[in-house]
Structure 1
Amino acid sequence: MLSEKIRVGQVVKGLSGRETGKLFFVVKIVDHEYVLIADGKKRKLDRPKLKKVKHLKVYSFLNDKVKNKIASDTITDAFLRAELTKSKELIFD
């Protein structure tokens, strides 16, 4: 299935809708077809976006810091923004 290659803490890029071209972290896997994404700026952790996996480009980069903080429920929007900025540099350099 599609969700087998996607995990919490993974960087994804929106391919459709208002999120086209923007990077996000996967914060929760709802089922095999849907995930919740957030970037800490427009899509904050208290209101993540429900998105179909087929409308996302999934990068192989998995941020373990984000994954662990989401699991322990100690993550903040500021931390998410900072890690997304660092991840952009690693993905596109």
Structure 2
Amino acid sequence: MYTLTIDEGGRDVSTPHDTPEAAQAALHAYLVFSDYYYQPTQLSAAHAAYELISLTQGQPRVVGVATIEPYTELAARRDLRAVFAAIGPAHALAS
């Protein structure tokens, strides 16, 4: 599993994907929809980071960042703890 995280203007959204290629395709769709371009800032086998660039006002400006990285068991446990902390274990298990 891989996570695509897009942080634009302080709002971050994370989505799970089966492969890094699927995460890359989702990022590309987001860029087309938002009329943005991207510039790689870090590319490795385990992690990719990009700046999101807008050209709408004639000058290129960075409007956000995107990362693609493996979704590890450690991250899954952290997310589960966050859910339990936010809504309580009894409610989380009941839903």
Both proteins in one fold, TM over 0.5: no
TM-score, normalising length: structure 2: 0.26
TM-score, normalising length: structure 1: 0.26
- Structure with bigger strand share is 2
Task: Answer with 1 or 2: which has the greater Rg.
Answer: 2
